[in-house]
Structure 1
Amino acid sequence: MPWLRARTADALGSAVRRARQVAGLSQDELARRASTSRPTVSRLERGSAVATSTLLDVATACGYELVLVPRGARLTVTTGTSDGES
């Protein structure tokens, strides 16, 4: 799975769309798995505001998690345990 970066609401929407596509999910299927509606998934993918809990649920349903990193920091992405250890 590719890692995705977003610094704007539009970029976040694009990242969510890409995560959904990588997971092989339609908007309807993602909405069902995230316990939300297809219009909400669509709004999120367009960069519109949705509840933070919805964003977290959608990311989880796609097999992703959100990580906040200081801007300008160097980041190496590896697969590992859920506690961040590689």
Structure 2
Amino acid sequence: MEGIMAYTSQGIREFAYVDMSQFPHDSNLCVETILRSLMHLKQELGRKLFVQMDNCARENKNKYTCALAHLLIHTDIFEEKFV
């Protein structure tokens, strides 16, 4: 199970994504849960994105999640990132 907690202008929003072992537990699952949560929050988001993840480099802190953060800024969805 993947969980996301977001602090928005509307308050705290929590998301839980249940996986019945149909997806590998790797960076693709992490990126997918971040993107799904951002889609749910698109009306409540500001211009700054703060991301806090656990220390698992295999799934969370790797080139794919860093590339996602770069893409979100490069496409002008967010103006800054702090990971």
TM-score by length of 2: 0.32
TM-score by length of 1: 0.31
Q: Which has the higher helix share?
A: 1
